[in-house]
Amino acid sequence: MIVKRKTTNNFLLMFKPYWVTEVTGRLTLNNNTTNETYEYDLKGVGEEPLAEDHIVLNCQARQTTVHNFEIKNLFEKAVFYRVETDLNNVTGAENFNVKPKDTYYYALSITPILGGVYTGSITFYDTVEVRTESPKPEKSLDLKSFVRKAVAVEISLDNPLREPITFEVFYNGEGLLGDTSFIVD
């Protein structure tokens, strides 16, 4: 960034969390001409998203009213949504897909039982489905033992972190014995 002499310029820094989170960081600005360094400790807090809109629906008790929510997909890939609401006496699809660069109209049917004013929310969660195949074995071990006699094998595991790791142990095969968890400091 260049700042002309005897002028002021602003450095634009953005924080755009994808979900609720709290992160820290550091921003360092160096002036190579004067050898000055400015350091800033940063703390970013991603809060629950605000409502996109406030919708008021006028309904008649014991009669169904349908409201269509416009859901736009601005991405180049299809988006799968999961729907949650805390409103009573409503029906609608639990999930749906929106094609790339397309708009979907989500129909919510409301059938209030009694008169009055009710408030609630409807949330459209962008969900991700990850399908992962199991990895290939690290190594193959051949074990031989006499019937009713045990044989043991030691497997070394490393912990590159600065905190203990707990491994869950799953057995697949007849006659295998051992702990169901393993801690590496």
What are the tens digits of pLDDT across the range 99-145?
999 999 999 999 999 999 989 999 888 876 667 787 788 888 888 88
Count of domains for the chain: 1
Whether 35 is in a domain gets the answer no
The pTM of the whole model exceeds 0.85: no
pLDDT tens-digit series, residues 145-180: 888 888 888 888 888 888 888 888 888 888 888 888
Domain extent at residue 80: 65-127
Considering the domain boundaries, does residue 26 fall inside one?
no
Please, what sign has the CA dihedral across residues 143, 183, 20, 28? Answer: negative
Q: Quick check: is 82 in a domain?
A: yes
Nearest alpha-carbon partner for 78 in 110, 101, 48, 57:
101
73 within domain boundaries: yes
Q: Is residue 34 part of a domain?
A: no
Q: Indicate whether 91 belongs to any domain.
A: yes
* Backbone φ, ψ for residue 37 (5° rounding): -130, 130
Query: Is 25 domain-assigned?
Result: no
pLDDT of residue 129: 61
DSSP β-bridge partners for residue 81: 96, 126
- The answer to whether residue 70 is domain-embedded is yes
What CATH number has the domain bearing residue 107? 2.60.40.10
Least confident of 30-34, 69-73, 114-118, 173-177: 173-177
